[in-house]
């Protein structure tokens, strides 16, 4: 399939880097921080208990569901308070968690592919998570980063895709959204009027996923961002000058 692409919006977690190892690192960093600075909270809140608290947060504070930063800070404050620790430590505990959460390991093809894509069209990051591209060292490849936290609603809401298109100064049909999640990325972007690319990476067992929704297919499907960059090269012979 061939069609013009004037800009690309990109999901981050599980599209540019795998999120699971970063979350494991972040939880481990938080364990270490609590053990050192708030030992009563460390004893009271092992990982399994923190996961239960997150379910409580989803139930008691549903308005925080699109804001991973606020949700995590709410959790940490509650953990410290219930353990009889100083809640003024919340910010430092969050910083320890967040630094490790941003310590991501990119998929092997990601950075070279992003460089190729960014040489052709403006890129914008569109994420429900709270990863910081500045901290991660990729911001120079992106025109901007728009998160569910800043926007006030998460993908698959059409409003976040349209807000990104507005900021790019383009109509939704001129923009390609790229992401791994069939519902949040592909269906959400399609319903907002964008072109869609499903990143369907090979898992540890060497398998890709089946597309399950019959009524709608992504415009493009690739197992890597490198394959998307190849497609863009073949479809856009001249880089857009900026």
Interface residues toward Mg ion, by CB under 5 A: 11, 13-14, 180-181
- Cα–Cα distance measured from residue 107 to residue 200, given in angstroms and rounded to the nearest whole number: 13
Nearest distance from residue 11's CB to Mg ion, in Å?
Answer: 4
Smallest gap from residue 34 Cβ to Mg ion (A): 28
Identify which of residues 13 and 221 has a Cβ nearer to Mg ion in the complex.
13
Cβ proximity of 7 and 175 under 8 Å: yes
Closer by beta carbon to Mg ion, 16 or else 168: 16
Strand partners, 222: 199
Select the residue whose beta carbon is closest to Mg ion and give its number.
Answer: 14
C-beta of 11 vs 221, nearer to Mg ion: 11
For residues 131 and 175, which CB has a smaller minimum distance to Mg ion in the complex? 131
C-alpha 139/C-alpha 220 separation (Å) is 25
Nearer to Mg ion, 34 or 154 (CB): 154
- Alpha-helical (H) ranges within 67-157 are 68-82, 90-101, 110-120, 133-136, 148-151
Q: At 190, list the tokens.
A: 């399609």
Among 113, 116, 136, residue whose Cα is nearest residue 13? 136
Nearest distance in Å: CB 132, Mg ion: 16
How many CB atoms sit inside 10 A of residue 222's CB? 19
* Smallest separation, CB 179 to Mg ion (Å): 5
Residue 85 or 181 having the CB closest to Mg ion: 181
Q: How far is the CB of 148 from Mg ion (least distance, A)?
A: 12
Decide: 80 and 87 in contact? Cβ < 8 Å.
yes
The closest of 223, 233, 217 to 110, measured between CA atoms, is 223
CA 41 to chain centre: 29
In the complex, least distance from residue 208 CB atom to Mg ion, rounded to whole angstroms = 15
d(CA 190, CA 186): 6
């Amino acid at each position: 399939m061939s069609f013009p692409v004037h800009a690309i919006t990109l999901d981050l977690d599980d599209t540019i880097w795998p999120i699971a190892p970063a979350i494991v690192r972040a939880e481990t960093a938080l364990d270490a921080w609590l053990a050192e600075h708030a030992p009563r909270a460390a004893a009271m809140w092992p990982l399994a208990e923190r996961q239960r608290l997150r379910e409580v947060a989803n139930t008691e504070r549903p308005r925080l569901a699109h804001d991973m930063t606020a949700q995590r800070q709410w959790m940490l404050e509650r953990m410290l308070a219930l353990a009889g620790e100083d809640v003024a430590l919340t910010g430092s505990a969050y910083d320890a968690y967040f630094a490790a959460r941003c310590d991501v390991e990119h998929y092997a093809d990601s950075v070279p592919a992003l460089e190729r894509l960014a040489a052709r069209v403006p890129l914008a990051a569109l994420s429900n998570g709270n990863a910081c591209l500045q901290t991660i060292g990729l911001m120079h490849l992106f025109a901007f980063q728009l998160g569910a936290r800043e926007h006030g609603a998460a993908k698959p809401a059409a409003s976040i895709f349209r807000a990104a298109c507005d900021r790019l100064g383009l109509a939704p049909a001129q923009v390609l959204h790229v992401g791994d999640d069939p519902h949040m990325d592909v269906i959400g972007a399609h319903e907002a009027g964008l072109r869609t690319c499903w990143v369907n990476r090979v898992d540890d067992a060497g398998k890709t996923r089946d597309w399950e929704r019959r009524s709608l297919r992504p415009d493009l499907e690739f197992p890597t961002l490198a394959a998307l960059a190849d497609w863009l090269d073949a479809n856009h012979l001249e880089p857009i000058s900026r």
